[in-house]
Amino acid sequence: MRVSYSTVQAAPAARKWYWNRAVSRTYFPLELSFHSTPGFAGALDVWSLGDVSISRNVSDGLVYRRHERHLLHEREESFLITAPELSDIVFVQDGREVRGRPGTFLVERSHLPYEFSHAEPNALWVLKIPAATLRARVGQPERLATLTFDATRGIGALFVDMIRLAAPRIDEMDEAARDLTGRHLVDLLALAVEADDRVLGSRGTSVQSAHLQRVERFIRANLGMSGLAPQMIADACGISVRYLHQLFEMQGSTVCGWIRSQRLMMCDEALRDPTSRRSMSEIAYQWGFGDQAQFSRHYRAHFGRTPSDTRGTTRAGRSAAQR
């Protein structure tokens, strides 16, 4: 489903107000400062892919600011993955400044104040991802904020190419296909960022990080196995059980705790899928929980709500959107 905004739909005196409202609706509340006066021009197309959205933002130069006051009533954290096409972008968050050029993409975190700008007219591809969806595929995604990634070769280029190719085809897809496409784009993003040496090396020594990355990938690939246990993981990854536990202790976690949190996040994603017809017990069993009551207890402790609450809220939102 596509939503389009264009400043040609507003009177010249109202164009900046119109653009501010369009951007805040698409991403989250922001404060905008405009470089060109008075004839600002912008066009914004937004495509929904379930919990994920793609947008193409074409506009004259301006500054977007996210302040502390914007965060007061925000409950759902999200990440914006932005790829500029025409000119440089500058992003400042958490005391760090980074410049992104055409041929790169960068990661912005919604739950910290930031400043994003481009002085010249630009065309931006933006993928908006709920934090929970990204955390199910990338460990500690907060560490990605303010990093730029190469989009001219390899997985990074494929990721951005797929965004460009998917957008004009989304209106031809049914809801289930859109949701699946959104998940595939997040999977590609995860491959692209975890192939970067800076991400690999940000969690300890290079050897430790390489072992931890291999372990995390093995666990994610085998979450559905109810018998997934430290000994099996250590054997598959060629390390000792003791060293396996040490790797997770350095991250402030435990092996079993990390496995459980990954399973819960995948279950949460399935429960929030409006096209899913699987029962809650089927979802729990699919992701390695052998006992539904135990799953419900862990789910509530982790998310602060029951699986039934999540499914009910998702279905209510879908019904409201269809009216």
Q: What is the pLDDT of residues 158-185, one digit of tens each?
A: 999 999 999 999 999 998 899 999 999 9
- CATH number of the domain where residue 290 is located: 1.10.10.60
Average pLDDT over the chain reads 89
Q: What is the pLDDT of residues 230-286, one digit of tens each?
A: 999 999 999 999 999 998 988 788 999 999 999 999 999 889 887 788 899 999 999
* Same domain membership, residue 171 and residue 76: yes
- CATH number of the domain where residue 156 is located: 2.60.120.10
Domain containing 26 equals 2-201
CA 35 to chain centre: 29
What is the DSSP secondary-structure string of 139-204? SSGGGGTT-EEE-SSHHHHHHHHHHHHHGGGGGGS-HHHHHHHHHHHHHHHHHHHHTSHHHHGGGS
Grouping H, G, I as helix, E, B as strand and the rest as coil, residue 72 is coil
Grouping H, G, I as helix, E, B as strand and the rest as coil, residue 252 is coil
* Same domain membership, residue 213 and residue 183: no
Domain total for the chain? 2
* Same domain membership, residue 228 and residue 135: no
* Same domain membership, residue 22 and residue 107: yes
Structure tokens at 214: 């291999």
Domain end marker among 141, 174, 201 = 201
* Same domain membership, residue 247 and residue 114: no
Provide CB contacts within 8 A for 191, sequence distance 6+. Answer: 155, 159
Confidence of residue 201 (pLDDT cuts 50, 70, 90): very low
Domain end marker among 153, 180, 201 = 201
Domain end marker among 201, 221, 249 = 201
* Same domain membership, residue 208 and residue 194: no
* Same domain membership, residue 280 and residue 154: no
Return the half-sphere exposure (C-beta side, CA atoms, 13 A cut-off) of residue 242: 0
- Percent of the chain residues topping a pLDDT of 70: 93
* Same domain membership, residue 185 and residue 232: no
DSSP letter for 304, please.
S
Yes or no: say if 150 and 132 are a contact pair by the CB < 8 Å rule.
no
Provide CB contacts within 8 A for 290, sequence distance 6+. Answer: 226
pLDDT at 100 over 60: yes
* Same domain membership, residue 197 and residue 109: yes
* Same domain membership, residue 261 and residue 222: yes
* Same domain membership, residue 100 and residue 38: yes
